[in-house]
Amino acid sequence: MRHAERCDHSDAPCLSSAQGITARTLPSVRELGHDFKELGARDVDIISSPLIRAVQTAENMFGKSPPRQAWLFDCKGTMLNQALQHKVPHHNLILVTHSECIQDLESSMGDSSPTTPAFASSWFLIDDGRSAPVLLGYLDADQWKELDRLDMLAQLEDH
């Protein structure tokens, strides 16, 4: 996933440093962490880029400081391979990174014209270890609410 809104690209107040995220994004970042937990995934490994905006995003989403690894910032041409190397079988892997790395991932998976991802957007990839990884798609932070609504409608239809 991409880190939350950068303070140095906004006139909104900073959470702490100018290299971090904006204070106004904190409620949506925490809600996004809640949304990830609602997916019900167990055995989740979280790794963050060492840059403060990614670390602040991860800490505020998941309530803990994740391991930080430079390849999540310095990723040119290596993002997919690095992600697969860090993926533990039967574990979910959440990477908090930057737009350039997400674009690198998309390019590695055959997208010839990746677009710049929105702040706090999430990409979903499946790798079963037997066949080529599959990019399922992405959700922008504000699209999670639609999933909640669809889940609620499905529950109503079941009754």
pLDDT tens digit string along 42-62? Answer: 789 999 999 999 999 999 999
pTM, 2 dp:
0.88
Domains parsed from the chain with CATH numbers: 7-158 (3.40.50.1240)
**Which two three-digit tokens encode residue 135?**
């990019």
Query: How crowded is residue 156: how many other Cβ atoms within 10 Å of its Cβ?
Result: 8
Report which residue type is found at 46. I
128 Ramachandran zone, left/alpha/beta (phi>0; psi -120 to 50): alpha
Strands 122-126 and 44-48: unpaired
Per-residue pLDDT reduced to its tens digit, 84-129: 999 998 889 999 999 999 999 999 988 877 788 899 999 999 888 8
Query: How crowded is residue 21: how many other Cβ atoms within 10 Å of its Cβ?
Result: 29
Residue 23 has pLDDT above 80, yes or no: yes
